[in-house]
Chain A
Amino acid sequence: MAALGAAFFFCQPATAQTDTTATQAAPQCELHVWPSSGLRSVYYGWFHGGIVDGAVNGRDGYPPIPKDPVSTSLQAELLSKLNLASILQLPNYQVVVHDQSLDSRAIRAAAGRLSTSTSSCYAELVGDDVFFQQDVFSGGYLKSLIRFRSFGSSNAPTRVFSTWSRTKLIAFPPKEDAGNAEALRELHAAYVSNIESFGTFLNKPIKKKK
């Protein structure tokens, strides 16, 4: 029994070594993905509307919206269901979706990688902000500010790209509680649509300066 135990003990490092060799043979590209913090809001009204997050915080004069309708955990869930490698045109990338959002400071000030990964083929997709934007003339939109950085094998990004993408909302915010489910379905579909639009923007040929 003791001999068996000893044999098992010594087998473990050998197995681990084999795995490492296999990893070295074919480097695995990694795309690390972070959701943003919860929904924020901006509003443009007739005579007021400057208060940032007025709707989200239930301030007077701002359209009421359901509480935390696109939470960080829900975003992580939606992101996990998407084929992000295909949307961003990063074939053969292994997608790692983190379940916590990053502090806006960390996102904007980071010079190096935001994860501890040492992958020799590495990229990041970061949800910076997600807004419910509404104005009295053209209605509501879900807007997402998304940031992408690719590193290759380096610790400093070789490409940085960030942009807004938006999707028109019709049912959100719900006028009555009865419309809540439909409004949330629309909002979540808009969140996915914004990610897909971002993929298109990211891969659009860069315009040459005239």
Chain B
Amino acid sequence: MKSVLNLSLGVCLAALVATPALAQAPAPCELHVWPAERMNSMTTGLLGGGLLDAAIHANKDASNKASLASALDSPSQLDALQSLDLIELLARQPGTVIVRHETPIERKSMNKVKTRRSDSQAACYSELIVADVFYQKAAIYGRSLRTLFMLRDFGNDQVIDREYKAWGGNGLKLFPPKEGEDSTAALDELVSVFKANFTEYAKNARKALNRGS
């Protein structure tokens, strides 16, 4: 009986010691990620833009938009970002939990809302929002895919502590595909360049946020 009592006492003491340690373990930080809902294509010829240029290339630009919307639909944007080491690239705390949001944020409310875009009450909270996906073809500079990203750090409240919004952009070699020809590689290129754009953005974000802190 005594040994049982001793054992019980030992277990209780161990639990008392262990409980505060568990309680002290900080909850993981959260990085919430949203895809873009706005995608644009702009082709300019030797006229250098303007209404006539827009009219000439409208059909091609509308067609490019469909390709962007298909290759970079919401799950594909999120998959592309999650295939990268977001925690390392955005200098988040180790163990940060990535939370995917499959439905894009309404583009017009992007800059207006200054509080958290999710219901999370996490004490360490940040948001990565893909704001725009933009294909551009210029007569001299060639074809490129540009992506606008926004990172917002909230800390433990509803107030933005630090924010960095900027474009990442890289050239395209295969996109857009010609009608009737195999488009597999051209559509895959959009995803790989989207990732390259994010890597470029993240590098600049780390620098900018370090300067600010």
Contacts and interface: CB of A to CB of B under 8 A. Distances in A.
Interface of A: 40, 42-44, 50-53, 103-105, 108, 128-129, 131, 133-138, 143, 145, 147, 160-166, 197, 200-201, 204
B189 interface: no
Given A105-B75, A138-B59, A143 B66 contact: yes
A143 B58 CA distance: 16
Contacts of A40: 69-70
A131 B38 contact: no
A131 B69 contact: yes
Contacts of A200: 180
A148 to B, nearest CB: 10
B177 to A, nearest CB: 7
A166 B62 CA distance: 12
Contact of A204 (B37, B59, B63, B180): B180
A135 B107 contact: no
A52 B71 CA distance: 12
Contact of B79 (A42, A105, A129, A204): A105
Given A50-B38, A51-B37, A162-B182, A42 B69 contact: yes
Interface string B148-185: 00000000000000000000000000000101111110
Given A163-B182, A163-B183, A135 B70 contact: no
A52 B39 contact: yes
Given A104-B75, A160-B184, A162-B182, 18 more contacts: A40-B69, A50-B107, A50-B132, A52-B38, A52-B65, A104-B76, A129-B66, A129-B70, A131-B69, A133-B63, A137-B55, A137-B59, A143-B66, A162-B184, A163-B179, A163-B182, A164-B67, A166-B63
B30 interface: no
B200 interface: no
A40 B71 CA distance: 13
20 contacts: A42-B39, A42-B65, A42-B69, A50-B40, A52-B39, A105-B75, A129-B66, A129-B69, A131-B70, A133-B65, A134-B62, A135-B59, A135-B62, A136-B58, A137-B58, A138-B58, A145-B66, A145-B70, A164-B67, A197-B180
Given A42-B65, A134-B62, A162 B76 contact: no
B61 interface: yes
A139 B70 CA distance: 20
A30 B76 CA distance: 30
Nearest to B108: A51
Contacts of A104: 73, 75-76
A165 B65 contact: no
B87 interface: no
B124 interface: no
B97 interface: no
Nearest to A128: B70
Contacts of A162: 182-184, 187
A44 B58 contact: yes
Interface in B110-151: 132
A118 B25 CA distance: 51
Contacts of B61: 44, 135
Residue of A40, A44, A165, A204 with most partner-chain B CB within 10 A: A44
Contacts of A164: 63, 66-67, 177, 179, 183
Contacts of A137: 55, 58-59
